[in-house]
Structure 1
């Protein structure tokens, strides 16, 4: 593995940057563009401001194109009017530090993410269930959630 080591907060991340960059260049549309629903359009319009600068820098160091999230979903409209989104990216590699996965007693899991700003949190775990990577072994999934206003003309109920 052509390994790039990145220290980010309490994590040590090890990325095969060459394979990661190549994979992101190969697939044309992000999860949001592929879907095209109003929730995803709302996300796409705000994508530049979704990710804090330190996260954009981290993604660049790992070989990830932040404009190509693998998946994103709007989960709820909150009482304060913001929309709660969750999504993920992946990179070929490994990490040391807190795994954000919390197994549930009856199966499945939830995630415990680290707050970066008031409107953005992140975490790392291993998963390859939905991926553009040809070789599904050794993938780190970067989970994120964020809170966004509705900026499209008509709000979806």
Structure 2
């Protein structure tokens, strides 16, 4: 593995950048494009501005294509009118630092994300349950939350 080391905030990230880039190059459509619902179309319409520049830079350094999220979901319309989205990417590698996974007492888990901007949070954890990667061992999942306005002409139902 040709490892790329990236220091970002309190994390040390180690990426097999070549394998990660090749995997993103090999799959044609992002999770949002594959779905095609209005919530996903709203996300796609704002993808360029949804991710802060420092996150786009981080993704480039890791070999992640920010235009090909593996999955994204809209969970709620917030009181301020923005829509709460959660999604993820993956890269082949490892990391040192806080894992965003918080186990719940009755099973399952939630996430404790790191706020990057007022409308964007990020976290890292290990998961390979839904992935385009051929080799499922050694995958780091990049979780993100973002709050976006509704920009499509038609309102969601």
TM range (shorter): over 0.9
Partner of 2:154: 154
- Kindly tell me the number of residue pairs found equivalent between the two proteins: 157
Moved over 4 A (4+): none
Q: In the alignment, does 2:76 pair up with 1:76?
A: yes
Partner of 2:99: 99
Structure 1: 5+ residue stretches without partners: none
Offset, 1:80 = 1.2
Partner of 2:34: 34
Alignment of 1:105-124 (within 5 A): 105-124=105-124
Partner of 1:18: 18
Aligned Cα RMSD in Å? 0.4
Structure 2: 5+ residue stretches without partners: none
1:85-123 residue CA offsets vs partner (Å, 9 max, x unmatched): 000000000000000000011111000000000000000
Normalised by the size of structure 2, how large is the TM-score?
Answer: 0.99
Normalised by the size of structure 1, how large is the TM-score?
Answer: 0.99
Q: Distance in 2 between matches of 1:90 and 1:138?
A: 10
